[in-house]
Structure formats: structure tokens, C-alpha cells
């Protein structure tokens, strides 16, 4: 009975997982497995994960089978006088070489994927994500160098259809089928810019500029969250990326240029792109400076209170 029930339960769980995978880049209730991949990197991670799963299953089955065989075949009743064998060179060579070969078979695609994920050789555009306690700032250095903050929509303002704890006031808008370099940094503590459907989870570190890339396969909204414990509101600084066609992206850039302030207060975009990192010279607009200042004030106050409470 149990032999029939277990595969049935596993099958149902897989179907539920696959069912969750039908919608775009957001988590689903009862989801099992990854979100559907939306970039070549995540496709690679997905494939590598499935490949590893087969190696794990086959190894576990082989070891379990071997154990069962030994338990039954060499039990005391059947073997009242056990053999006194202590060495068998052939089998020792096999059980050393086979695991090495398995590890080599895993290592080759693993390193290939790791270098593929690292960076894009020829980026078509750059997005810069800057972590703050507890929201994200984005810059578009190749499109007029405008900048905006992206803050979570609080529960009381959530509208029907919006994802609680995941929706933001200003989504990151990116074009599909474009090699996008993503530069990531932070102004206060370590955060992590993570979007599961893109296969990106990269720490944003104050004083450092980390790099990743994405080429989004299809239009849709992709959600992610800060994935490095960064303070009491760590769970409230989501990431929402809206992937649109190249034409729609061009139109959005035109409106965004008018709507949002420039990141550099007027310097050429190229210079800012080269400067990189959280430039201390960056003059924010008065409104933004006031906003960030008060938030950072709260943040350090919170951190102080946290430390005081910890003692």
C-alpha cells in the first residue's frame, strides 16, 4: 500500500509545484520547486538543479539497495561463519574512483554555469540598484541617469490584485531580450538584490560595486526580496521588476526622465557610470535627500535601539 501511496503523493506535490509555476515571477501558495525561469541564467540553474537531483536520486537508490542486499544476503542466520576478508584492491579502487568521477561530472557544468552567471561580456544597458535600510534606489545611467526610490506598499494601502509585502510604489522597468548589466551596492549595511525568476541573488555591500546580469525572456512582473538580514524591516524592502517590450521601455524612459530627478545633478551620465559605487559626492535632490536622511536617521536610531536592547 505504502509503495503505491508515496509515489502518488509525490506526483500530486509535483503537479502542485508545476501548477504554481504557470504564473509569472512570484511565489505561489503551496509552491514546490523554483519559479519558472525568465532568464538564461535561471534556465541554467534550473537545468543544473534537475541534473543534480538525478545524481542524488540514483546515488541514494544505489546505496539503499546495496545496504538492503548486504543486510539480507549476509545476515547471521544465513552466514553463521563470516568471511575474514579485510582487503580487496579492485573494489577499493572502484569506490575511490567512482565518487571522484561523479564529482568531476558535477564540477564541470557547475563551473561553466558559475562563469556564465558572473557577468555579461557585451551589455546593452546598465541598471544600478542601491540598497538602503529599508528600500531600494535605482539608477539608469545609460538613459539620462535618472534615479528613483522603490518602497514597499504598506498593508493598509494594498489594492486588490497587488501582492502583499512584494508590491512597490515605483517598479523597476526593464526591456525584454536585452543584455542588462546590473550593478549593485549599498549605502548602509549589506543587503542582497534577489529576483528568483532571474537567478540573481547578489549581496549589495557598502563601498563595493557588485555585478550581475539578466536577459529577460518574456514580459511580466517579477518579484524578489532583499535576501540578507539587514535590520528590523529586512522583510519589507521588496523588489518588483516590470519587463516590457523595447518600445514600451523607450516610452517609459521618456516619462521617467521628466518624472524622476537625475542621479548626478547634471554631470554627464558616462562620468557617473565610471565613478561607480555609492559616490559620496552625489548631490541628491533636496526632496530625496530629506527623505533618505530621515530614513537613515531612523535606521541608525533603530540599530542603536537594537544594540541597547541586546545588552
Give the binding site for Cu ion (CB under 5 A): 191, 226, 230
Distance in angstroms (rounded) separating the CA atoms of residues 138 and 295? 17
Distance in angstroms (rounded) separating the CA atoms of residues 27 and 13? 16
Cα torsion at 289, 135, 199, 50 (round to 10°)? 170
Distance in angstroms (rounded) separating the CA atoms of residues 248 and 22? 24
Q: What is the largest CA-CA distance in the chain?
A: 89
Q: Which residues pair with 152 in a beta bridge?
A: 168
Residue (143 or 191) nearer to Cu ion, CB: 191
Residue (132 or 171) nearer to Cu ion, CB: 132
Tell which residue, 35, 33, 62, has the closest CA to residue 50.
33
Residue (166 or 226) nearer to Cu ion, CB: 226
DSSP label at residue 237:
-
CB of residue 226 vs Cu ion: minimum separation in angstroms? 3
CB of residue 4 vs Cu ion: minimum separation in angstroms? 47
Distance in angstroms (rounded) separating the CA atoms of residues 60 and 10? 17
- CB burial of 251-289 (b: ≥16 within 10 Å; e: otherwise) equals ebbeebeeebbbbbeebebeebbeeeebeeebebeeebe
Residue (241 or 256) nearer to Cu ion, CB: 241
CB of residue 234 vs Cu ion: minimum separation in angstroms? 5
Distance in angstroms (rounded) separating the CA atoms of residues 121 and 169? 32
203 by Cβ neighbours in 10 Å (0-12 / 13-18 / 19+) ranks as: middle
CB of residue 141 vs Cu ion: minimum separation in angstroms? 22
Residue (20 or 238) nearer to Cu ion, CB: 238
CB of residue 143 vs Cu ion: minimum separation in angstroms? 25
152 by Cβ neighbours in 10 Å (0-12 / 13-18 / 19+) ranks as: buried
CB of residue 211 vs Cu ion: minimum separation in angstroms? 19
CB of residue 300 vs Cu ion: minimum separation in angstroms? 15
Residue (230 or 299) nearer to Cu ion, CB: 230
Residue (226 or 244) nearer to Cu ion, CB: 226
CB of residue 133 vs Cu ion: minimum separation in angstroms? 7
Residue (214 or 230) nearer to Cu ion, CB: 230
Q: Distances in Å between the alpha carbon of 229 and those of 203, 204, 225, 236?
A: 11, 12, 11, 11
Amino acid at each position: 500500500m505504502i509503495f503505491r501511496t508515496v509515489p502518488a503523493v509525490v506526483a500530486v506535490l509535483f503537479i502542485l509545484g508545476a501548477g504554481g509555476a504557470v504564473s509569472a515571477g512570484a511565489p505561489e501558495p503551496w509552491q514546490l520547486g523554483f519559479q519558472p525561469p525568465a532568464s538564461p541564467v535561471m534556465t541554467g540553474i534550473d537545468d543544473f538543479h534537475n541534473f543534480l537531483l538525478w545524481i542524488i536520486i540514483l546515488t541514494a537508490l544505489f546505496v539503499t539497495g546495496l545496504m538492503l542486499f548486504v543486510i539480507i544476503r549476509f545476515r547471521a542466520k544465513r552466514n553463521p561463519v563470516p568471511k575474514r576478508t579485510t582487503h580487496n584492491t579492485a573494489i577499493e579502487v572502484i569506490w575511490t574512483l567512482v565518487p571522484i568521477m561523479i564529482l568531476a561530472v558535477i564540477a564541470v557544468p557547475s563551473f561553466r554555469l558559475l562563469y556564465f552567471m558572473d557577468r555579461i561580456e557585451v551589455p546593452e544597458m546598465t541598471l544600478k540598484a542601491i540598497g538602503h535600510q529599508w528600500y531600494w534606489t535605482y539608477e539608469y545611467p545609460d538613459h539620462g541617469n535618472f534615479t528613483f526610490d522603490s518602497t514597499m506598499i504598506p498593508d493598509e494601502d494594498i489594492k486588490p490584485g497587488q501582492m502583499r509585502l512584494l508590491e512597490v510604489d515605483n517598479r523597476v522597468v526593464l526591456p525584454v531580450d536585452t543584455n542588462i548589466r546590473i550593478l549593485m551596492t549599498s549605502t548602509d549595511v549589506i543587503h542582497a538584490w534577489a529576483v528568483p525568476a532571474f537567478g540573481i541573488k547578489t549581496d549589495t555591500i557598502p563601498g563595493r560595486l557588485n555585478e550581475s546580469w539578466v536577459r529577460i525572456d518574456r514580459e511580466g512582473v517579477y518579484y524578489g526580496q532583499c535576501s540578507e538580514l539587514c535590520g528590523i524591516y529586512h522583510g519589507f524592502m521588496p523588489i518588483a521588476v516590470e519587463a516590457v517590450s523595447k518600445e514600451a521601455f523607450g516610452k517609459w524612459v521618456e516619462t521617467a526622465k521628466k518624472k524622476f530627478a537625475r542621479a548626478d545633478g547634471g554631470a554627464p551620465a558616462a562620468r557617473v557610470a565610471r565613478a561607480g559605487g555609492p559616490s559620496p559626492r552625489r548631490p541628491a535632490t533636496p526632496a530625496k535627500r530629506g527623505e533618505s536622511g530621515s530614513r537613515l536617521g531612523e535606521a541608525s536610531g533603530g540599530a542603536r535601539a537594537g544594540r541597547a536592547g541586546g545588552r
